[in-house]
Amino acid sequence: MKRFFGFLLVLILTIGGLAGCGESKEQVQKEKNVEEKAEVKDFPVSMKDASDQVVKIEKKPEKIVSLIPSNTEIAFALGLGDEVVGVSDFDNYPEEAAKKEKIGGTEINLEKIISLKPDLVLAHASTALNSEAALQQLKDVGIPVLVVNDAQNFEHVYDSIKMIGKATGESENAEKLIADMKKRLADLKTKVAEIKEKKKVLIEVSPAPEIYTTGNNTFMNEMLSWINAENIAADQEGWIKMDQEAMIQKNPDVIITTYGYYVENSAEQVLSRKGWENVTAIKNKQVIDIHSDRVTRSGPRIVEGVEDLAKAIYPEVFN
């Protein structure tokens, strides 16, 4: 009798466990169905891109090819690293991106792109005109091509992130990413409010003898404004070649170089320039090289670029 009751107890527990497993599996399936329905709800999607063309994407892309590093960085930041199957020769961030199939540099390899069978190609307005014929061939074989806007300020970057988010079914992640970027910038702004005296800054985007700098209506000018610094070339427009005598006369407090990745000892070269001995930045040895990608690529890391500039220009506040 005792054995019978023991057996009965084990049987009851086993049935209960199986029922629990059944409910668990059923719950998992329900959750999966909800996710799939939400995914289907977002597609097909039709949207106008930066080339003013309506792009229709039938389903959530499972294979994405990116033609420019900023698009790649946005895609990875949205959690699409596994979906990205091809990137440009210039892609180097994040580390996983460098391991993806390469599809060319200034000239794209059409055969390679088509062989990857992408559901979506992320192009860019800065290069779309030169690649117009190639992009059209991709469209002709049925591959959706989205031309992302050429961002010139933070709001434009947010637009790029929203566009890629919508095209890939990651709009929610896009909004979260933008909110995080805005918070970090707001925190910076709070800190720079303590600064009473603005420092004058020269940003060199190419070395001597032909020194190019960044004027008004450029990303880096907006970055300097954001951290309460004065761009000595703000009275000129865009990317400009500035006369050395004019730069010396402006007497910057800080000189930022962005070409240390291809010029050895870039800061030392600036510090040893003849005729610059009386410039405040030279006298105080305030010449700092920062990573070009973080201040020029119009993606999520642009916030890190602002932070880099803030630390370089106002170390007494940010370090």
171-180 residue pLDDT tens: 999 999 999 9
Instruction: Give 27-82 pLDDT, tens digit per residue.
Output: 545 554 544 444 456 799 999 999 999 999 999 999 999 999 999 999 999 999 99
- Please, what are the domains in the chain? 45-178 (3.40.50.1980), 194-314 (3.40.50.1980)
Q: pLDDT confidence of 18, banded at 50, 70, 90?
A: very low
pLDDT band of residue 1 (cuts 50, 70, 90) is very low
Q: To which residue do tokens 């402006």 refer? A: 250
Write down the pTM of the prediction.
0.84
For 259-309, the pLDDT digits (tens) are 998 999 999 999 999 999 999 999 999 999 999 999 999 999 999 999 999
Task: Name the amino acid, one letter, at 51.
Answer: S
19 vs 123, higher pLDDT: 123
Neighbouring residues of 1: CB distance < 8 A, sequence distance ≥ 6: none
Q: How far apart are CA 131 and CA 56, in angstroms?
A: 20
Q: At 319, is the pLDDT very low, low, confident or very high (cuts 50, 70, 90)?
A: confident
Contact status, residue 161 vs residue 174, Cβ threshold 8 Å:
yes
For residue 210, what are its two tokens?
């032909």
The two three-digit tokens of residue 14, written as one number:
């086993």
Q: How far apart are CA 310 and CA 292, in angstroms?
A: 15
Task: Collapse the DSSP code of 9 into the 3-class scheme (helix H, G, I; strand E, B; otherwise coil) and give the result.
Answer: helix
- 203 forms beta bridges with 256
Angle between helices 302-313 and 219-226 (to 10 degrees): 50
What phi and psi, each to the nearest 5 degrees, are found at residue 70? -65, -40
What residues contact 89, with CB distance under 8 A and at least 6 apart? Answer: 102, 104, 105
DSSP string of 49-111? Answer: -TTS-EEEE-S--SSEEESSHHHHHHHHHTT-TTTEEEE-TT--SSGGGGGSEE-BSSSB-HH
CA distance to 132, 176, 261, 303, per residue, from 300 (Å): 27, 12, 21, 6
How many angstroms separate the CA atoms of 191 and 135, rounded?
45
Cα 39 to the chain's mean position, in Å?
Answer: 24
C-alpha 277/C-alpha 260 separation (Å) is 21
Q: What is the pLDDT of residue 9?
A: 41
SS3 label, residue 114: helix
Specify the pLDDT at position 6: 45
Cβ count near 197 (within 10 Å): 6
pLDDT, mean of residues 16-20: 45
Q: Give every CB contact of residue 66 below 8 A, 6+ residues apart in sequence.
A: 72, 75, 84, 86, 87, 88, 91, 121, 122
* Alpha-carbon separation of residue 48 from 54, 101, 197, 234, 266 (angstroms): 4, 28, 45, 34, 43
For residue 57, the number of C-alpha atoms closer than 13 Å in the C-beta half-sphere is 30
- pLDDT tier at 14 (50, 70, 90 boundaries)? very low
215-263 pLDDT tens trace: 998 889 999 999 999 999 999 999 999 999 999 999 999 999 999 989 9
d(C-alpha 189, C-alpha 69), whole Å: 28
- pLDDT score for 37: 45
For 70, the token pair is: 């900023």
